[in-house]
Amino acid sequence: MAADKVDPIHQFHIIKLIPIKIGSYDVSFTNSALFMVATVIVAAAFLYLTTSSRSLVPGRLQSVSEMAYEFVGNMLRDAAGTQGMRFFPLVFSLFMFVLVANLLGLIPYFFTITSHIIVTFGLAILVIGTVIVYGFMKHGLGFLKLFVPHGVPIYLMPLVVAIEVISFVSRPVSLSVRLFANMLAGHITLKVFSGFVVSLSALGAVGIAGSVLPLAMAVALTALELLVAFLQAYVFAVLTCMYLNDALHPSH
Amino acid sequence: MANKNRPDGTGETGRGNQHDAEIRDDDLERRRRELEASLATRLPNRLEGKDAKPVTGYGQALKLSSEFIAGIVVGVGLGWFLDRVAGTSPWGLIIGVMLGFGAAILNVLRSAGVVAEFGQGGKPREPKE
Q: Are the CB atoms for B118 and A128 separated by under 8 Å?
A: no
pLDDT score at B44: 52
Least CB-CB distance to B70: which of A56, A170, A185? A170
pLDDT score at A121: 93
Of the given ranges (A11-25, A69-83, A183-197, B72-86), which has the lowest mean pLDDT?
A11-25
Are residues A166 and B75, on separate chains, in Cβ contact within 8 Å? yes
Report yes or no on B68 lying in a domain.
yes
Report yes or no on B24 lying in a domain.
no
Q: Are the CB atoms for A12 and A184 separated by under 8 Å?
A: yes
How many helices (H) and strands (E) chain A has is answered by 7, 4
Are residues B103 and A171, on separate chains, in Cβ contact within 8 Å? no
Are residues B70 and A173, on separate chains, in Cβ contact within 8 Å? yes
Residue of A nearest to B45 (CA): A78
Closest C-alpha to B112, from B125, B127, B96: B125
Domain count, chain A: 1
Report yes or no on B28 lying in a domain.
no
Q: Are the CB atoms for A235 and A91 separated by under 8 Å?
A: no
Distances from the Cα of A209 to the Cα of A214, A222, B28, angstroms: 11, 21, 58
Report yes or no on B97 lying in a domain.
yes
Q: What percent of chain A has pLDDT over 70?
A: 97
Distances from the Cα of B98 to the Cα of A39, A172, A245, B32, B76, angstroms: 41, 20, 29, 55, 9
Average pLDDT over residues A17-39: 88
Mean pLDDT of chain A: 87
Which residues from A are below 8 Å from B55, CB to CB? Answer: 227, 231
Chains A–B, number of C-beta pairs less than 8 Å apart: 92
Q: Are the CB atoms for B86 and B92 separated by under 8 Å?
A: yes
Closest C-alpha to A17, from A36, A1, A43, A39: A36
Average pLDDT over residues A212-238: 91
Are residues B59 and A169, on separate chains, in Cβ contact within 8 Å? no
> Tell me: the pLDDT tens digits for B97-124?
999 999 999 989 988 877 766 555 444 4
Mean pLDDT of chain B: 72
Q: State the smallest CA–CA distance between residue B2 and chain A in angstroms.
A: 23
Range of the domain at A139: 2-248
Of the given ranges (A164-173, B45-54, B117-126), which has the lowest mean pLDDT?
B45-54
Are residues A177 and B122, on separate chains, in Cβ contact within 8 Å? no
Q: Are the CB atoms for A114 and A101 separated by under 8 Å?
A: yes
Range of the domain at B94: 57-112
Half-sphere exposure in the Cβ direction for B25 (13 Å, CA):
1
Closest C-alpha to A145, from A40, A246, A10, A16: A246
ω into A89 cis (within 30 of 0): no
Max intra-chain CA distance, chain B: 94
Report yes or no on B44 lying in a domain.
no
Which residues from A are below 8 Å from B73, CB to CB? Answer: 170, 173
Residue of A nearest to B47 (CA): A75
Q: What does the alpha-carbon distance between residue A126 and residue A171 come to, in Å, rounded to a whole number?
A: 12
pLDDT band with cut points at 50, 70 and 90 for residue A154: confident
Least CB-CB distance to A167: which of B69, B73, B106? B106
CA dihedral (A219, A221, A222, A227) positive or negative: positive
